[in-house]
Amino acid sequence: MKSNSKATQCVHSGSIVDPITKGAVTPIYTSTAYDYIDVDIHAYPRYFNTPNQRVVSEKLAALENGERAIIFGSGMAAISTVLFALLRQGDHAIFQNDLYGGTHHAITKEMEKYGIEYTLVDGIEVSSYEKAIKPNTRLLYIETPSNPLLKIIDIRAMANLAKTNNMVSVIDNTFASPINQNPIDLGIDVVVHSGTKYLGGHSDICCGIAVSSNDLGQQIWESAIHFGGSLNAQMCYLLERSLKTLALRVNQQNSNAQTISEFLASHSKVNKVYYPGLINHEGHELAKSQMSGFGGMLSFEVKTDPDKFVKTLRMIKPAMSLGGIESTITSPPQTSHSKISAEERAKVGISDYLLRLSVGIEDVNDLINDLDQALNHEQ
């Protein structure tokens, strides 16, 4: 029975019943050598079509309301494969400037080598993206909520801009997760994720996902088998297992992040809080119109020494990744945005006092107590 409920899709979409025992969970098919006689498909791990790859693809296609999902060995494998599958020499692509640093580097270091032109657009105004369109523009790429200031871009307007100008639209949906935001429903063509974050959710899997229509999926797949960034059966199984609790985890993270952002917004040692669930966040109304939850990511500026603050935390762990069940904190000026000059950072609103919190599923009172003791600690 098919369900449109994300919680049910997390548990039931795309699993294989063990033909020998009829056990409750998908068996792990580790083979890299499959029969080619009298079979429907020629299975091979780098073709993204072995049993564990197929079941987890089916679950993710259902969760993102797409037709086809391809699972990769990392988020960057998914992103680079999508870009180089859909762009040709002589094409032009438009990217939001405010992207995950690794994607930004991939664009600036790789595109020109292959004769692909690009424009990085500042800000979130649709008109700025429209101005960047050239006769050879084929692709528009965005990320919302953005990192680290949680800016919200109008997904419907961007998808529409792409459609009316013959571009493929691509969105990185990592920060929101498919529980909070389904961009394909809003008109986006391709959704990519770093599955290393919320989809894996336990800080122990590195993977990536691209979800789209069957037609675009076929195009992406035809390049993907050449680039070879597939994920092995054991990791696919672990991802499938993690996805069963995605809705539970993300809903708890949404709720914890809302409570924590309200606590921080009223704290005397905090300057500013960036969280789309706060009514004074500039993208709050837009977020309400395109997200079903505001997510587990928030940023805030402390009035105290940010390094000492982080070192004083007892439960919240300093870590560069995000989306895990444990709460983690990072300093964007020292990590993701360290290669950008202090002046540039200041121009886009990233102060040296800014910290980015990935809220976990712990008891929210414990998290608040930890933040409070570190904020009030003698500096």
Ligand X SMILES: Cc1ncc(COP(=O)(O)O)c(C=O)c1O
Q: Which residues bind ligand X (CB under 6 A)?
A: 74-76, 100, 102-103, 147, 172, 174-175, 194, 196, 206, 208
359 or 375: whose CB is closer to ligand X?
359
CB of 78 to ligand X, least distance (A): 8
Q: How far is CA 195 from CA 4, 265, 274, 341, in A?
A: 22, 30, 24, 30
Is 339 part of the annotated catalytic residue set? no
**Secondary structure (DSSP) of 101-144:** HHHHHHHHHHGGGGT-EEEEE-SS-HHHHHHT--TTEEEEEEES
Rounded to a whole number of angstroms, the minimum distance from the CB of residue 202 to ligand X is 14
Nearer to ligand X, 196 or 327 (CB): 196
Could you say which of 197, 249, 274, 356 is catalytic? 197
Strand 317-318 vs strand 117-121: parallel, antiparallel, or unpaired?
A: unpaired
Question: 68, 112, 67: which is closest to 93 by C-alpha?
Answer: 112
Would you call 100 a catalytic residue per the annotation?
A: yes
Q: Which of 90, 186, 197 is nearest to 142 (CA)?
A: 186
Closer to ligand X by Cβ: residue 7 or 120: 120
Q: What is the dihedral of CA 355, 361, 366, 369, to 10 degrees?
A: 20
Amino acid identity at 146: S
Helix (H) or strand (E) holding 329: strand 328-330
Q: Among residues 100, 129, 237, 353, which one is catalytic? A: 100
Instruction: Work out how close the CB of 334 gets to ligand X at its nearest, in angstroms, rounded to a whole number.
Output: 15
**Active-site position among 46, 241, 288, 303:** 46
Q: Which C-beta is closer to ligand X: that of 242 or that of 270?
A: 242
Q: Which of 91, 98, 154, 172 is catalytic?
A: 172
Q: How far is the CB of 30 from ligand X (least distance, A)?
A: 23
Residue closer to ligand X, measured from CB, 184 or 270: 184
Q: In the complex, which residue's CB is closest to ligand X?
A: 75
- The reply to whether 197 belongs to the active site is yes
How far apart are CB 146 and ligand X at their closest, in Å?
9
Q: Shortest approach of ligand X to residue 276 CB, angstroms?
A: 15
Q: How far apart are CA 104 and CA 109, in angstroms?
A: 9
Q: Report the C-alpha gap between 97 and 352 in whole angstroms.
A: 20
Answer whether 73's CB lies under 8 Å from 207's CB: yes
The verdict on whether 59 is a catalytic residue reads no
- Among residues 181 and 196, whose Cβ is nearest to ligand X? 196
How many residues are listed for the chain in this entry? 379
Count CA atoms within 13 Å of residue 246 on its CB side: 32
Annotated active-site positions, please? 46, 100, 172, 197
